[in-house]
Amino acid sequence: MAEEVEVDQEVYDELIAAGKSERIARAKAKAAAMRKKKAAAGEQMGPREASAPQAPAPKAKAAAGADAAEGGAVATKSRSGDGNGAGNGALTPQERQARVAAALQQKGGGGGPQPGRSTKLGGQDHTHRLLAMVPPTGIQQIRGKQDDKVYTWPHLITAEFVCLMAVTAVTTVFSALVNAPLGDLANANLTPDPSKAPWYFMGLQEMLRYLHPMVAGVTLPTVFLVGLMAFPFMDKNPSVRPENRKTAYTIFTFFLVFWAVLTMAGSFFRGPGFNWVWPWVDGLWFTL
């Protein structure tokens, strides 16, 4: 309904004088004007009595006519009414109980469409009215457990920044103190003894000592890599708890230790001719 909305000038001026913003003052003044209008039409605005829903319904309808606000449910209307008086909107348990009791009484008292059913269900055929008494937590269904989360900024970003600074500092300081090796010019006719691969391939070179190059250099690395990639598809155990994953832990740890031992053996315990040496006796043949 596109009618001119009146503004209660007195309330408006008062609020402006009290330092409220123009927007808030206007809204409150509008509401005040509407209250006055409705009061003049004889509509009840204050907190209702427990028995209220029975009586004023026809009267209000007649007075407000096509007023859209009047279409609201009983609960909505009286709640906004309460907002005028005591604390905001929410009904006290006593009020709510009284409301439900009144509603049930009204239905059970003969106003209902099927009086016969009310005896069958003990006067509680309109069970949805009871929702007013159910606490919200009883209605919401919480499926998954809520994650305990924190804001990326500042928590994660700060941690990452500290980590970044630490890595930069460690790398810079270490680089200032320790020089990278640089040997003589490459010479294809002068084979150093021993010739060693970079440390991350020392495991392979060590295996080369015991196995045919095709097995140690091609087959086994391929099997390792494919096995590593296929692991998640072979491990059907859904648990992530260490105590439930003893087999997986054992297999992985075995390969990890196996690989570490091979790498260390090749790096530190192999000397001239790629023969076994004790680094504390014969010295170290290892360059990073």
Residue nearer to other proteins on the CB measure, 80 or 287 = 287
Q: In whole angstroms, give the CA distance from residue 44 to residue 48.
A: 8
Residue nearer to other proteins on the CB measure, 78 or 263 = 263
Minimal distance, residue 220 CB to other proteins, in Å: 10
Given a contact cutoff of 8 angstroms between Cβ atoms, the answer to whether 52 and 103 are in contact is no
Tell me which of 136, 146, 200, 281 binds other proteins, using CB under 8 A.
200
Mark 147-186 with x for binding to other proteins (rule: CB under 8 A) and - for no binding. Answer: xxxxxxxxxxx-xx--xx--xx--xx-xxx-xxxxxxxxx
What the block records as the tokens of 89 is 């909107």
Minimal distance, residue 228 CB to other proteins, in Å: 5
The reply to whether 276 sits near other proteins by the rule CB under 8 A is: no
Q: In whole angstroms, give the CA distance from residue 7 to residue 27.
A: 8
Minimal distance, residue 251 CB to other proteins, in Å: 10
Tell me which of 96, 117, 245, 265 binds other proteins, using CB under 8 A.
245
Phi/psi for 276 (5° steps) reads -65, 130
Residue nearer to other proteins on the CB measure, 17 or 178 = 178
Any bridge partners for residue 106, and if so which? none
* Cis peptide upstream of residue 221 (ω within 30 degrees of 0): no
Interface with other proteins in residues 131-150 (CB under 8 A) = 147-150
Helical (H) or strand (E) element with 10: helix 9-17
Phi/psi for 270 (5° steps) reads -120, 130
Minimal distance, residue 36 CB to other proteins, in Å: 38
